[in-house]
Structure 1
Amino acid sequence: MVAWQNEPVMKQLLQLILLHTAWEMGSGQLHYSVPEESQHGTFVGRIAQDLGLEVSELVPRMFRIVSKGQKKDFFEVNVQNGILFVNSRIDREELCADNTDCSIHLEVIVDKPLRVFHVEVEIRDINDNAPIFSANEHILSIAEVITPGTRFPLEGASDADIGPNAFLTYKLRPNDYFSIEQKTNDHHNKPLTIVLKKPLDREEIPTHHLLLTATDGGKPELTGTVQLVINVLDTNDNPPVFNQSVYKIKLVENAANGTLVIKLNATDLDERSNGEIYFFSAHIAPNFQKIFNINSNTGEVTVSGSVDFEDRSVYDLQIVAEDKGNPPLSGHCQLIIEVLDVNDNAPEVSVSSLSVPVPEDSPPGTVVALISVSDKDSEANGQVTCSLWPPGLPFKLVSTFKNYYSLVVSEHLDREHMAEYGLMVMAQDQGLPSLSASSTVVVPISDINDNAPAFAQSSYTVFVKENNPPGAHIFTVSAFDLDIAENSLISYWIDEKLWPLSSYISVHSESGKLYALQPLDYEELKLLEFQVNAKDAGLPSLCGNVTIQVFVVDENDNAPAVTGQTEDNSILLVVPVPAGHMLGKIHALDADSGYNAWLCYELHEANNGPWRVGLYSGEISTIRSMDEAEGSRSQNLRVLVKDHGKPQLSATATLSVSLVTSAQAIQTNIRLPKTDEISKPKAGIVNLYLIIAICSVSSLFLLAVITYVALRCQFQSKEPMVYGPGTATLVCASEVGSWSYSNRHSHILTGVNGEALAKNDLMVFSPNIPASENGKQQDLLCGTVSIIHGRFSFLTLDFNIWMVMMNFPSEQC
């Protein structure tokens, strides 16, 4: 009693062990079994628990099952408890015919992340089909001369079930003349026969009525019956005999109509009409008669329909040879036709659960689609290999179970390199010749914000003329972003962390246009250097920047200004005066630079007399000697100071010269310097100036060489950025960036004994324009040479002034 109660528990434990073993051996396949004809709602298994899934995550992860190759959904899952149950009626005979293995393959799919499980549900056969005979009545004609022991074949019953449920046993109603005999072979059932137990006597019993019952092996047993009517005939006593009782033939599928399968041969010992034989097929299903045809006169079996290995691989036919005697006698043989498979079915490719578009930051192993392949052929003809074309794409196929694959990401994706992939999944069998099929999968790649805005150059140099109108457009910056949509929408702004630029420059946030908010004045501001940042609209946003150098170009907007001029600018000159005598200098300044500040001096047209002015020096001297006859006269000299700008600007300096004799000078107690004192400076001072000049030039040249070598070694390193207005020493003379010099002369009107403080400032500028390495070296060298040249010019110019101050003739310098 205890053992009986524990038996269900032991069965359940055994099923769990077998289920676990099947799971380990099936590479992830889950196996259930359910009897056919189960009612709706019949419990199959706790599929969620067996797959290791939580019931609470079935709905969020879109748990679903798909029946492969089935038109009906035989099973369903209750997502509230994770139980797999029968959804509709399952007829194993309708589903699998007479195949011994009958199962339904289910794909269980969940998302987030995408996973697929394979579940196989075996449909167990139940004894729901009774044996059936082809007819309710079967008539046999047997001659009375037939000896006891003779066997007569009968058509057996058929049972749609399989296994023990289809194992049939036959029973004949008890009688004195006949018994039933049934034998089985390894693979094929031998014909059912009745055996004559004792001689027949037509006069005694002309017709025998027998009831044949077929019983299957199911529980409960089911039966079928057929009425046998045996007519006892007289005369013809030799039946036809085949040379073989069983014929086995191999036939290639898809054989053409009219193809000869076999020519059967039977003999009859009788003569005349009793020995003439004709053939026909007995007990053959109607669908077989559409495929094969037998010539009743020659015994040739030919193909008359479609022979398809995938429909049926073996045909078992019963052939009868009957003579024309009276009564006619017949012989029997069995024809077994084995159909050979040929590779006539191409593989089939199915793509499901395509998850697109694929984000370009998807890690390797991300599942894109589920792919299944199948081939109706058998053995090598049905073995399929699957591959991707073209090769080299960042995707691969991963085998999950038998002919099931997952299309996964194998490498890093970059939408900017390839926005969409066209994949061809190719399936090829191993038959001869090999057949293949393909399916195209389009995988678009979605964009992420992985590219920062970038500018075509690292910096830009802009030249703007001074006195521009407020709000003038001076330049446009443009950045590009390889991303798309909002990830490529760019906005611009100026970085003001180190110096506020809001009063000078602004940038339009969408167009990137730079505007000068106020007029720029070269004399106050020569350089604006700042950064413009570009930011996209992605999440998170990415930024890029570019350096802008705005150089203010000088215009001739400042007239020369004479320095040191007062209301009484007069010179008292004692005659006689030799020719070439210098009266003094006019000092003038121009706030502009370059040619705009290069000044020239000339006498006004109304001035007449023995005077001249140095064109660029501003020195006033006599043209000819003047004697006492010209004394006691006063003259006004008007000197016009002009720059070289366009338009040219000028200023006027007025000088009053009074000529007196020596006696008059004594009376006024004015001591005039001797000519020798003015024209002959001390030799020691001159030598000192020369030594200082030579030492300065040498030192500056050595310093320039050292600077050039140091910069040459470090020219690739990025120089520190300077924000805000440039220093007043940077001058740009033209819009093409060439260097020029600016002579700022401060001429004041002085007497013969006055001191001149003239200075010449040479300013050099090389714009910070991006160039190649050779270009950088050339710019650096040119800048260095310009500095050296500038210092030489500075010393030369100052030295000339010093010579004039010491009253040395310029020719001697």
Structure 2
Amino acid sequence: VKLRGHLFLRWDLCFFIIHSVSGDVTYSIPEEMKRGSVIGNIAKDIGLDLGRLSARRARVDSEDNSVQYCSVNLNTGELVVQERIDREGLCAKKTSCILKQELVLENPLELHRFTIRVQDVNDNAPQFSENSLKFEIRESAVKGARFAVGEAHDEDIGENAVQGYTLQQNDNFKLNVKTNPGGRKYCELVLDKELDRESSKELSLVLTAFDGGSPQRSGTVIIHVTVLDANDNAPVFSQTVYKASLPENSPPDTLVITVTATDADDGINSEVTYQFEHLSNKNNMFSIDHKSGVVKVTDGLGLVSYATLIIDITDVNDNAPVINLKSLTNQIPENVSPGTEVGIINVQDRDSENNRQVRCSLQTGVPFKLVPSIKNYYSLVTTEQLDRELVSDYNITITATDEGSPPLSSSKTVHLTVADINDNPPVFEEQSYSAYVTENNKPGSTLCSVAVNGAPVSSYVSVNGDTGVIHAVRAFDYEHFRSFKVHVMARDNGSPPLSSNVTVNVFISDLNDNSPQILYPTPEGNSFMTELVPKAAHAGSLVSKVIAVDADSGQNAWLSYHIVKSTDPGLFTIGLHSGEIRTQRDISESDSMKQNLIVAVKDNGQPPLSATCSMYLLISDNLAEVPELKDISYDERDSKLTSYLIIALVSVSTFFLTFIIIVLGVRFCRRRKPRLLFDGAVAIPSGYLPPNYADVDGTGTLRSTYNYDGYMTTGSRTSDFKFVSSYNDNTLPVDQTLRKMIY
């Protein structure tokens, strides 16, 4: 602190912060290195395997989490400059400028400390605090009088700092360079020749300060000297060294300390004023009252004295802890074992002593905990087995609290996602599936859809791997097979893949795609069959039976019989479901001998299908009364047969005589008198039976067989004709025939 008056007094305001420097490796580099410049090979110097740097996510952190000045090349292990390193900005006037850095590796957490000593380069020139200096010196000043000019300041240190001063050549003054207790050089003007106010009232001198760097840098100041009367006493401070203690959070205008000085002169020469001469902190955080006196004192022109003021800053807890997330595994596999490290937390507090002691904690109810690690580092580890299917995301709040009074705290929320692994096989929603499909379906039609946990699946043939829809690959035929099973496999894309199986039962439902097939009487064109009806037949007598089957099933095979056309509509009736043809009334003499019936057989499908057949009946008790046989047909066809009657009568007569002889012979040989079947033995060929007709009771008429016992005497119109009711038997086998035998 410089006090202006007749004397000059100088103090030093100093701050000392001492850190112990330790580390495994130390590098020395000059400041202002270009980005990308190599500092050294940290992997080689520490003994790390290059191949594991990337796997363990190696990176450089600073202990105080400030700017990251260097980084590590994971391929070479070299430390390279990442940000501009300015020694003056980092360390100001400290003799030793050290960056404390840490090489962090994960899984497991490993910390290697190293230090970087930043060497000064001469990148700053000396500068005076003012562009010009003004001195008022009395002409009575004696030769040898000294006037303190002060010192120039250089932000560099050592040889790069101020090394000396030079004064422009003049007649009255010479320069005296001195070194203060702190090692800094300052200068004084020494009066070499008395001043003569009458000869020269003002003088201008050029003072130059230079450093010792290479290249050398310098700075100048202009000194204006005004010649006045003498002042031969310098002010004197009450103490040589002043000390004060001040909290760091002191508000503006807080009183630090008061310094006092006295001057033995009288009048204006005894007035003392105070001002700062040199501050160790260039931010000039302190002010001084020029009259009351804080730190630097001056009494105008004259001699200078020096005192040192040391201010100790006491810490208050005004900084909350800062939580830094150094590493985090965002996607945590759900199969990690408890105790797995998933993140690294670093906590810093800018306060000191107890105010910077920090405790960290997590909220309750999460399967994680913080484990203290190296210095201010914590490892975030799992405490139990994770299950993504139960909880897939976690928001974890980390709280850091210091031990100040009152304590300060801060929080940080970390989001973690549990990554899925293939630990669950697909699960079908049903233990088995049943699909119902109608026959004659279109190929590619949908049978059913299977789902696994509500998601698409892939399966065997004809299963859509994206939707789980099962398609038919061809048309099904109910008459060939009615059901089948499909084994569907659902497989995920995990590693290894997991799968599940399910059985799909496919049931084919019947469609009405088969018309009834008439087995008896045989279809028109194959053989000519005629039934003989006695004239004495009473109402309700069984005359014949239409036998039909349907290859369909269920209601599609329920058959009904209808007479759609007949020679005498009121003479015969047919059982709706049995197909039995019976007389509806007694046969009279007026009834036509030849009776033609057209019978329709319909199923119960939607839409219904049908088939028709012709039934030929002869009402007669005596074969001799039958003039012809082959001309029995539909009425609409009688006109077409007229031309053949003559030929038919001749043929029938010959046949009739032969037949009478055979009948008489048979009658005498056997007692039993069966029905006559004029067309001979007629068989129901197995070819008329469908290979897979439906075996449904009470639908068709195939399961019922009928035996007829016929008793007649030739030439008698009153011969008895015995009808025997039907009885149920086993289903007619396909390879057998139904025969009507003539005796």
Q: 1:553 aligns with which of 478, 500, 509?
A: 509
Per-residue deviation, 1:602: 3.0
Show CA shifts across 1:624-676 (max 9, x none): 4458x6899564555433222233233436253544389999986686899xx
- 1:124–1:467 CA distance, 2 compared to 1 (3 A): closer
Structure 2: distance between partners of 1:618 and 1:236: 159
| RMSD of Structure 2 on Structure 1 (CA) | 6.5
In the aligned structure 1, how far is the partner of 2:606 from the partner of 2:288? 120
Confirm or deny that 1:461 pairs with 2:434: yes
> Taking every aligned residue pair, what percent have the same amino acid on both sides?
33
For residues 390-438 of structure 1, what are the alpha-carbon distances to aligned partners after superposition, in whole Å with 9 as ceiling and x for unaligned? 7655555433222223344555556677777666655444445655556
Is the Cα–Cα contact under 8 Å of residues 459 and 465 in structure 2 kept in the other structure?
yes
Structure 1 runs not aligned, ≥5 long: 1-28, 126-133, 136-154, 161-208, 217-221, 302-316, 495-505, 675-727, 732-739, 762-813
Local SS of the residue matching 1:549: strand
Aligned to 2:321: 347
Q: In terms of mean alpha carbon deviation, does 360-369 or 272-281 score higher?
A: 272-281
CA drift at 1:530: 0.8
SS of aligned partner of 1:533: strand
Distance 1:597 1:34, change over 3 A: closer
Instruction: Flag structure 2 segments of 5+ consecutive residues without an equivalent.
Output: 1-20, 34-38, 120-127, 130-149, 156-174, 192-229, 626-659, 675-691, 709-722, 733-743
Aligned equivalents of 2:474, 2:421: Cα separation in 1: 41
Tell me which residue corresponds to 2:561.
601
Is this contact kept in 1: 2:596–2:617, CA < 8 A?
yes
Matches within 5 A, 1:89-100: none
1:108 partner amino acid: L
* Separation in structure 2 between the aligned mates of residue 329 and residue 101 of structure 1, nearest angstrom: 32
Q: CA deviation at 1:96?
A: 6.0
* Equivalences, count: 556
The 3 A distance-change label for structure 1 pair 625 and 346 is same
Determine the C-alpha separation between the residues in 1 that align with 2:233 and 2:465: 116
| Corresponding residue for residue 574 of structure 2 | 613
Q: Which residue of 1 aligns with 2:445?
A: 473
Partner SS state of residue 530, structure 1: strand
3-state SS of paired residue (1:373): strand
| TM-score after normalising by structure 1 | 0.51
- The one-letter amino acid paired with 1:462 is A
Whether contact under 8 Å (2:428, 2:453) holds in the other structure is no
Larger Rg: 2
Question: CA separation in 2, counterparts of 1:289 and 1:492?
Answer: 78
C-alpha spacing 1:424/1:580, structure 2 compared with 1 (3 Å): same
Match of 1:493 in 2: 460
Q: Judging changes above 3 Å, is the alpha-carbon distance between structure 1 residues 277 and 100 closer, same or farther for their aligned structure 2 residues? A: same
Q: Are the aligned partners of 1:251 and 1:338 in contact in 2 as well (CA < 8 Å)?
A: yes
Q: Matches of 1:329 and 1:601 in 2, distance apart?
A: 145
Aligned match for 1:372, one of 319, 335, 346: 346
Deviations 1:269-310 (A, max 9, x none): x999699875636875364893333434445x5xxxxxxxxx
SS at match of 2:460: strand
Conservation of the 8 A alpha-carbon contact between 1:581 and 1:621: yes
TM-score by length of 2: 0.55
Q: Does 1:251 align with 2:246?
A: yes
Q: Determine the C-alpha separation between the residues in 2 that align with 1:557 and 1:45.
A: 88
- Of 357, 364, 371, the residue aligned with 1:398 is 371
Q: Which letter does structure 2 place at the counterpart of 1:285?
A: L
Q: Which residue is equivalent to 1:497? A: none
Cα separation, 1, equivalents of 2:507 and 2:27? 92
- CA distance 1:247–1:444, shift in 2 (3 Å): same
Structure 2 counterparts to residues 554-573 of structure 1, below 5 A: 554-563=510-519, 565=521, 567=527
C-alpha change, 1:440 and 1:611, in structure 2 (3 Å) is: same
Q: CA, structure 1 residues 271+468, in 2 after alignment: closer, same or farther (shift >3 Å)? A: closer
Give the corresponding residue for 1:117.
111
Q: Is the 8 A contact 2:344 2:377 kept in 1?
A: yes
Q: Distance in 2 between matches of 1:608 and 1:641?
A: 18
2:521–2:614 CA contact under 8 A, matched in 1: yes
For residues 550-586 of structure 1, what are the alpha-carbon distances to aligned partners after superposition, in whole Å with 9 as ceiling and x for unaligned?
3222122223334454657555555644544444654
Quote the Cα distance in structure 1 between the aligned partners of 2:407 and 2:389.
39
Three-state SS of the structure 2 residue aligned to 1:381 is helix
**Corresponding residue SS for 2:476:** coil
Structure-1 separation of matches of 2:265 and 2:701:
154
Quote the residue 2:475 is aligned against. 519
Equivalents in 1 of 2:74, 2:485: separation in Å? 71
Contact 1:584 1:750 in 2 (8 A): no
Deviations 1:452-511 (CA, angstroms, capped at 9, x unpaired)? 555554444333222234x2423363646899xxxx8x64323xxxxxxxxxxx445566
- CA distance 1:596–1:296, change in 2 (3 Å): closer
Residues 226 and 327 (structure 1 numbering): CA distance in 2 closer, same or farther, change over 3 Å? closer
* 3-state SS in 1 of match to 2:555: helix
Higher helix share: 1
The letter for the 2-side match of 1:757 is N
**Cα pair distance change 1:238/1:640, threshold 3 Å:** closer
Q: Distance in 2 between matches of 1:211 and 1:650?
A: 137
- Rounded to whole Å, the distance in 2 between the matches of 1:510 and 1:741 is 45
Shift of 1:599: 1.7
Q: Distance in 2 between matches of 1:557 and 1:289?
A: 105
Aligned to 1:590: 550
Code of the aligned partner of 2:728: L
Q: Take 2:40 and 2:610, find their aligned partners in 1: how far apart are those partners? A: 110
| Conservation of the 8 A alpha-carbon contact between 2:54 and 2:74 | no
2:519 and 2:74 mapped to 1: Cα distance?
104
**Of the two structures, which has the highest relative contact order with CA contacts closer than 8 Å and spacing of 6 or more?**
2
**For 2:359 and 2:433, how far apart are their aligned partners in 1?**
59
SS at match of 1:492: coil
Match of 2:609 among 649, 659, 666: 649
Shift of the 540–46 alpha-carbon distance from structure 1 to 2, 3 Å rule, reads: closer
Among 512, 529, 546, the alignment partner of 2:485 is 529
CA 1:548/1:622 → structure 2, altered by over 3 Å: closer, same or farther? same
2:485 aligned counterpart, secondary structure? strand
Structure 2: how far apart are the matches of 1:30 and 1:255?
34
